[in-house]
């Protein structure tokens, strides 16, 4: 069976060394030494500041909204955030969970990221934020989005769950917006089993978020914010430190597979248009087929051969019932109906990749 993805497991000996340390210290969570070490090493590796590790990417989004005040009601009505329908459910459900109504606007037909040209007409007096996604790690039009946010005094929170180590114009893409979040879930390029991170633009927001993830406690006898528990534990950080030591190798293997796919897939298949100024991380390999039927047939045919393709992202989020009734967004509907992600993980061998390509080109 070739699954669409497989978690990367690093050197077990090294992990056991870290576990020995945890057993000696008996410090399992609450900003332990391994969480502190991973924080510093990630800041250095990614070239960012003000990074906060949390328990998962969804809570990273929720904490970011709260820290930036996006959830505050406006004139007695729920706040709104403008976001993309072409993403994983957590982008929009995290908003809803915080009492913020997601307002979906359509995507660019080539980059598949939120099209900034659609933002301004969706702004209302309730709008507090824009929540774009660097989808499959492809940078959004960050300058255009920043201009709109400045003009209308809106916060920007990037869902950068796919954008670990993506750079844009020579810098980390995570430096854009008021905050960017990473998911460090087991299936992501870099992971801590479960985990997430928030990268804030401003130090004071980082300080506030540190309290929010620890029940709002600011000192032993002092609770001055409404908080929650979103802390990362030491075993997760140990896994992260081990994966980080091998992440260059992980990236190389992914790039190798990515390049084979890219070079070998034929005519009818459409691929994502990449931002010119970015260095990609090869986290996903999505293809768009000429029709929904062709996509479903291909998925089924490869399924018979025990090769898993995944409709990712499907359905387009504006048609998910939990968000209420929304007008269908044609571009996102169209892409999501025809898209498939191909298997991509470091253990996949060249011959397996070539076999997949041959079956797709058949």
Ligand X SMILES: *Cc1c(COP(=O)(O)O)cnc(C)c1O
Q: Which residues bind ligand X (CB under 6 A)?
A: 56-58, 87-88, 90-91, 133, 159, 161-162, 183, 185, 196
Structure tokens at 119: 């933002």
In the complex, least distance from residue 30 CB atom to ligand X, rounded to whole angstroms: 20
Rounded-to-integer distance, Cα 222 and Cα 311, Å: 48
In the complex, least distance from residue 130 CB atom to ligand X, rounded to whole angstroms: 15
In the complex, least distance from residue 52 CB atom to ligand X, rounded to whole angstroms: 14
Nearer to ligand X, 56 or 278 (CB): 56
Q: Which residues have a Cβ under 8 Å from the Cβ of 313 and sit 6 or more positions away?
A: 86, 87, 88, 135, 336, 339
Nearer to ligand X, 162 or 211 (CB): 162
Using CB atoms within 10 Å of the CB of residue 105, give its burial: 0 to 12 exposed, 13 to 18 middle, 19+ buried.
Answer: buried
- Position of minimal CB gap to ligand X: 57
CA dihedral angle for residue 20, residue 26, residue 28, residue 32, rounded to 10 degrees: -90
In the complex, least distance from residue 57 CB atom to ligand X, rounded to whole angstroms: 3
In the complex, least distance from residue 172 CB atom to ligand X, rounded to whole angstroms: 17
Contacts 24+ apart (CB under 8 A), 2-5: 2/306, 2/307, 2/308, 2/343, 2/348, 2/352, 2/356, 3/308, 3/343, 3/345, 4/308, 4/309, 4/310, 4/312, 4/341, 4/342, 4/343, 4/344, 5/187, 5/343, 5/344, 5/345
In the complex, least distance from residue 29 CB atom to ligand X, rounded to whole angstroms: 17
Are the C-beta atoms of 258 and 42 separated by less than 8 Å?
no
User: Roughly what angle, to the nearest 10 degrees, separates helices 292-304 and 330-338?
Assistant: 30
Nearer to ligand X, 88 or 200 (CB): 88
In the complex, least distance from residue 294 CB atom to ligand X, rounded to whole angstroms: 25
Nearer to ligand X, 162 or 251 (CB): 162
Nearer to ligand X, 133 or 289 (CB): 133
In the complex, least distance from residue 37 CB atom to ligand X, rounded to whole angstroms: 21
Nearer to ligand X, 161 or 287 (CB): 161
**Residue closest to 273 by CA, chosen among 34, 75, 112:** 112
Q: Which residues have a Cβ under 8 Å from the Cβ of 53 and sit 6 or more positions away?
A: 35, 38, 39, 42, 184, 192, 195, 196, 197, 232, 237
Nearer to ligand X, 142 or 265 (CB): 142
Nearer to ligand X, 341 or 353 (CB): 341
Would you give the end-to-end CA distance of the chain in angstroms? 20
């Amino acid at each position: 069976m070739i699954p669409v993805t497989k978690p990367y497991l690093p050197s077990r000996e090294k992990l056991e060394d870290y576990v020995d340390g945890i057993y000696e210290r008996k410090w399992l969570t609450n900003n332990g030494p391994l969480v502190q070490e991973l924080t510093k090493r990630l800041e250095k590796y990614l070239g960012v500041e003000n990074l906060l590790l949390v328990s998962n990417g969804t809570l990273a989004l929720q904490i970011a909204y709260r820290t930036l005040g996006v959830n505050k009601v406006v004139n007695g009505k729920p706040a709104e955030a403008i976001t993309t329908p072409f993403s994983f459910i957590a982008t929009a459900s995290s908003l809803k969970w915080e009492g913020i109504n997601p307002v979906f606007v359509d995507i660019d037909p080539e980059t598949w990221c939120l099209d900034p040209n659609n933002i301004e007409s969706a702004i209302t007096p309730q709008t507090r934020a824009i929540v774009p996604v660097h989808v499959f790690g492809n940078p959004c039009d960050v300058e255009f989005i920043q201009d709109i946010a400045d003009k209308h005094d809106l916060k920007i929170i990037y869902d950068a769950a796919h954008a670990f180590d993506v750079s844009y114009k020579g810098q980390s893409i995570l430096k854009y917006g008021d905050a960017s979040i990473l998911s460090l879930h087991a299936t992501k390029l870099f992971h801590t089993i479960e985990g997430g991170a928030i990268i804030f633009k401003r130090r004071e927001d980082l300080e506030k978020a540190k309290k929010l993830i620890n029940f709002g406690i600011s000192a032993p006898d002092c609770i001055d914010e409404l908080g929650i528990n979103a802390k990362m534990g030491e075993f997760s950080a140990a896994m992260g430190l081990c994966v980080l030591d091998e992440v260059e190798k992980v990236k190389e293997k992914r790039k190798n597979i990515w390049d084979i796919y890219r070079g070998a897939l034929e005519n009818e298949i459409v691929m994502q248009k990449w931002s010119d100024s970015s260095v990609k991380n090869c986290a996903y390999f999505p293809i768009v087929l000429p029709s929904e039927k062709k996509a479903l047939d291909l998925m089924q045919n490869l399924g018979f051969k025990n090769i898993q393709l995944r409709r990712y992202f499907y359905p387009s989020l504006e048609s998910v019932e939990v968000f209420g009734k929304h007008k269908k967004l044609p571009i996102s509907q169209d892409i999501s109906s025809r898209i498939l992600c191909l298997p991509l993980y470091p253990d996949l061998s060249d011959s397996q990749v070539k076999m997949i390509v041959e079956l797709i080109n058949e």
